[in-house]
Amino acid sequence: MEFKTIEGGVCAAKGFKASGVYCGIKENPTKKNDIAMVVSEVMCNTAGVYTQNKVKGAPVIVTKKNLEKSGGKAKAIIVNSKNANTCNADGEEKANEMCRLTAEALGIKPEEVIVASTGVIGQVLPIEPIKNAVPQLAEKLSYTGNIEAATAIMTTDTVKKEYAVEFEIGGKLCRMGGMAKGSGMIHPNMATTLNFITTDCAVSVSMLQKALSEIVKITYNCLSVDGDQSTNDTCMLMSNGLAGNPEITSEGADFDTFKAALYQVMANLTRMLAKDGEGATKLLTCVCSGAPDLDTAIIVAKSVIRSPLFKCAMFGSDANWGRILCAIGYAEADFDINKVDVSLASKAGKIDVCENGAGVDFSEDEAKKILTEDEIDIYIDLKLGTEKATAWGCDLTYDYVKINGDYRS
């Protein structure tokens, strides 16, 4: 399948506008954007996955209720950073008010609005700055407003995260694009951070949800920065159908193409999220192959990616492969550790460090050279089947502790 990478993020698909402004939710001398809006010209079929944390941000609860009430339909997104609106007695009231304000500004119903927040947990969300900002956001909506929106949802992120592709279904050119935020508190069960994906490809609500749930499993669910799962994790997928293709209502070739496009967008955003982990200096990609089933491959790859000791070793460019075997060994899956092979690679080369569960001779100098690069690949072969999976993460550095030692300030 051919997919062309294009610009535009959440505005890449036909009929989507976006905007972002600074409203002052948290005092910031640089006046960086802290609230964003995304709107479709027409109603969208919408699917979502959310945090599995027992503590859920008020926006997660309200968005789920809105989609249930609207039958999986939405037309707009309102999202703020700096404050997660979580663990507050008035949280749902504030989240509902954000929907009401947005609906009023756009002439739509409150239940047609997706609301999301990210930032500090446990601090009351000030509504006045948001009330003042919503009319500005509505006025500034633009087909090229994706950058303003993508920067507005950043917290400790150091770079904005966007990706978009175009593809063909039913003889029609379709586009799909997304934006994401996330740098820390990343280790999801069903979603991660805040992610908003838009497409003009026509897809029914049920098939949209099926596609999102399947691709989340092999992308965002295979991401870990620090082992902590956020209370506000949200991933939304909106389809407005303006590409004009026959609506996808069942499995088949068109659905497979759509899922492949969704994978391209979500896998690339996942990679960006991992690379921009708090304090990170290296992107870690673990590929587990030779697994008897997909779940085993995912479990093993994620076990390695989330190991603090292994992450520290990668920060120090230390080929301490025993930490990899240790992490594989406590993975909750069935396999024979005495068959496992492990290799480490980067653009500087590749080196085998373990065969059949035991170490092999290798050059420490060559390994050091390989691991000094800023993108490291870990290859694991279970030699038990044909399934494989990829997990993404980053190294664990001094700066991670510094960032999270004074996060509220």
CB of 96 within 8 A of CB of 133? no
Residue 50, beta-bridge partner list: 234
The model's confidence at residue 192, banded by pLDDT at 50, 70 and 90, is low
* Residue 47 pLDDT exceeds 90: yes
The model's confidence at residue 72, banded by pLDDT at 50, 70 and 90, is very high
Residue range 145-162, pLDDT digits in tens: 999 999 999 988 999 999
* Residue 377 pLDDT exceeds 80: yes
* Residue 199 pLDDT exceeds 90: yes
Give the integer Cα–Cα distance in Å for 199 and 262: 9
Q: What is the DSSP letter of 223?
A: B
Residue 174, beta-bridge partner list: 167
In CATH terms, 283-405 corresponds, of 3.10.20.340, 2.60.15.10, 2.60.120.560, 3.30.365.10, to 3.10.20.340
Given 155, 156, 192, 270, the catalytic residue: 192
CB of 187 within 8 A of CB of 307? no
Strands (E), 148-306: 161-169, 172-181, 194-199, 234-239, 283-291
- The residue extents of the domains of the chain are 4-275, 283-405
* Residue 200 pLDDT exceeds 70: yes
Residue range 79-125, pLDDT digits in tens: 999 999 999 999 999 999 999 999 999 999 999 999 999 999 999 99
* Residue 358 pLDDT exceeds 80: yes
Q: What is the pLDDT of residue 329?
A: 96
Average pLDDT value for the chain: 95
- DSSP notation for 188-205: -SS--SEEEEEE-S-B-H
Name the strand (E) or helix (H) holding 258. helix 253-275
Tell me whether residue 198 is one of the annotated catalytic residues. Answer: no
Residue range 234-290, pLDDT digits in tens: 999 999 999 999 999 999 999 999 999 999 999 999 999 999 988 999 999 999 999
Stretch 13-41: mean pLDDT: 95
Stretch 171-183: mean pLDDT: 96
Give the integer Cα–Cα distance in Å for 407 and 336: 42
The model's confidence at residue 409, banded by pLDDT at 50, 70 and 90, is low
Q: Residue 108: count other Cβ atoms within 10 Å of its Cβ.
A: 17
Q: What is the pLDDT of residue 190?
A: 62
Stretch 302-310: mean pLDDT: 96
Q: What six digits make up the tokens of 252?
A: 């088949």
Q: What is the pLDDT of residue 165?
A: 98
Q: Positive or negative, the Cα torsion across 22, 24, 26, 27?
A: positive
Instruction: Tell me the CA distances in angstroms from 359 to 200, 336, 364, one per residue in order.
Output: 51, 16, 13
Instruction: Look up the CATH architecture of domain 4-275.
Output: 4-Layer Sandwich (3.60)
